Chains A and B, each alone.
Chain A
Amino acid sequence: MIGGYGRPLEGRSWLSRLSDSPLRRLDWTLLCVTAILTAIGSVLVFSATRGGLSEAGDDPYTYLKKHLFNIAIGVILGGVTAALDYRLLRAYAPIVYAAACVGLVVVLTPLGATINGSHSWITLGGGFQLQPSEFAKVGLVVLLAMILGEPRDGEVGPGRRDILLALALAALPAGLVMLQPDLGTTLVFGAVVIGMLAVCGAPKRWVLGLLGGAVTGAFLVWWLHLLKPYQINRFTAFADPSKDPQGAGYNAEQARIAVGSGGLLGKGLFHGEQTIGHFVPEQHTDFIFTVAGEELGFVGAALITALLGVVLWRGLRIAMQAADLFGLLVASGVVCWLAFQTFENIGMTVGIMPITGLPLPFVSYGGSATFANMIAVGLLEAVHLRHNPYE
Chain B
Amino acid sequence: MGSRSRVRLVVLHVMVMSLLLSLGGRLWYLQVMNGAHYRRVAADNGIRDIIVPAPRGQILDDAGRPLVRNRTALVVSADRTVLLRQKDGGRAVLQRLAGVLGVPYAQLAAKVRLCGPGVTRPCWTGSPYQPIPLDDNADARKALQIRERQEDFPGISAQLQAVRDYPRTDGAGAAQALGYLQPITQEELNKRKGIKVTGYSGVDLIGRDGLEAIYDGDLRGATGVRRVLVDSQGRVTGVASEKPPVSGGNLVTSIDAKVQGDVEAALKHAIDAAHKRGDPADSGAAVVMDVRTGRVMALGSYPTYNPAVWTGGISQSEYDGLLNKSKGQPLISRATQGEFAPGSTFKVSSLPAAIRDGYPLHGIYGCPSSYMVGARAFSNFEGESGGDITLHQAIVMSCDTIFYRFAYEEWLRDGGMHPVKNPKDPMIKMAKDFGFGKRTGIDLVGESPGRIPSRQWKTDYWDATKASDCKHGKTGYPDVAKTDPARAAYLKQMAAENCVDGYVFRAGDAANFSVGQGDVLVTPLQLARAYAAVANGGTLWSPRVGKAVLAPNGTIARRIDPVKAGTLPISQKVLAYMRSAFADVPKSGTAAGAFGGFPLDKLPVAGKTGTAEVWGKKDNSWFASYAPANNPHYVVVVMVTQTGTGATTAAPAVREIWEDMYGLRKGKKADLPDGKVPDRLPALASDGTIVPPPGFGEPEDKTPASVPAPRRKKHK
Q: Point out residues on A near B: beta carbons under 8 Å.
A: 55, 154-155, 195, 198-201, 254, 256-264, 273-274, 276-279, 293, 297-298, 301-302, 305-306, 308-309, 312-313, 316, 319-320, 322-325, 328, 332, 335-336, 339, 342-343, 346-347, 350-352, 391
Contact = CB atoms under 8 A, between A and B. Distances in A.
A259 B31 contact: yes
A274 B43 CA distance: 9
A194 to B, nearest CB: 11
A274 B28 CA distance: 19
B6 A274 contact: no
B23 A343 contact: yes
Interface stretch (B13-21, B396-404, B624-632): B13-21
B2 A257 contact: no
Nearest to A345: B23
Interface of B: 1-2, 4-6, 8-9, 11-13, 16-17, 19-20, 22-24, 26-28, 30-32, 34-39, 41-42, 45-46, 229-233, 235, 237
Given A261-B35, A277-B45, A309 B9 contact: no
Contacts of B41: 257, 260-261
Contacts of B39: 260-261, 263
Contacts of B11: 198
Nearest to B37: A260
A332 B27 contact: no
Contact of B5 (A200, A342, A346): A200
B585 to A, nearest CB: 74
A276 B16 CA distance: 33
Nearest to B13: A316
A347 B267 CA distance: 80
Nearest to B19: A343
Nearest to B35: A263
B5 A325 contact: yes
B231 A298 contact: no
Given A199-B8, A324-B1, A258 B42 contact: yes
Most buried by A among B30, B32, B39, B237: B30
B315 to A, nearest CB: 34
B23 A198 contact: no
A261 B8 CA distance: 39
B38 A257 contact: yes
Contacts, number: 144
A322 B231 CA distance: 51
B42 A261 contact: yes
A277 B16 contact: no
B8 A257 contact: no
A305 B24 contact: yes
Given A257-B45, A259-B27, A352 B22 contact: yes
7 smallest CB-CB distances across A and B, nearest first, come from A260-B38, A277-B231, A263-B35, A261-B42, A298-B31, A155-B2, A261-B38
A274 B46 contact: yes
A257 B1 CA distance: 48
Contacts of B229: 273, 277
A319 B8 CA distance: 11
A301 B30 CA distance: 11
Contacts of A198: 8, 11-12
Contacts of B12: 195, 198-199, 316, 332, 335-336
A200 B41 CA distance: 48
Contacts of A195: 12
Nearest to A51: B231
A154 B2 CA distance: 7
A278 B232 contact: yes
A200 B1 CA distance: 10
A332 B9 contact: yes
A352 B174 CA distance: 68
Contacts of A328: 1, 5, 9
B31 A276 contact: no
8 contacts: A199-B5, A199-B9, A261-B41, A277-B229, A305-B23, A325-B5, A328-B5, A351-B26
Given A298-B27, A323-B1, 19 more contacts: A155-B4, A198-B12, A257-B41, A258-B42, A260-B35, A260-B37, A263-B39, A273-B45, A276-B231, A277-B229, A277-B230, A293-B31, A302-B24, A313-B17, A316-B12, A343-B19, A343-B20, A350-B27, A351-B26
A312 B21 CA distance: 13
Nearest to A323: B1
Contact of A274 (B17, B32, B37, B42): B42
B45 A260 contact: no
A336 B8 CA distance: 13
Contacts of A254: 45, 232
B46 A350 contact: no
A277 B232 contact: yes
Q: Which of A55, A261, A274, A325 has the most CB of B within 10 A?
A: A261
A154 to B, nearest CB: 7
A276 B238 CA distance: 12
B27 A293 contact: yes
A307 to B, nearest CB: 10
A264 B45 contact: no
A309 B20 contact: yes
Given A257-B45, A343-B19, A276 B237 contact: yes
A254 B36 CA distance: 15
B1 to A, nearest CB: 6
Residue of A263, A293, A308 with most chain B CB atoms under a 10 A cut-off: A263
A361 to B, nearest CB: 13
Contact of A257 (B42, B230, B237): B42
B194 to A, nearest CB: 29
Contacts of A293: 27, 30-31
Nearest to B4: A155
B42 A312 contact: no
A336 B19 CA distance: 12
A345 B41 CA distance: 23
Nearest to A280: B232
Contacts of B20: 305-306, 308-309, 312, 342-343
Contacts of A309: 16-17, 20
B19 A339 contact: yes
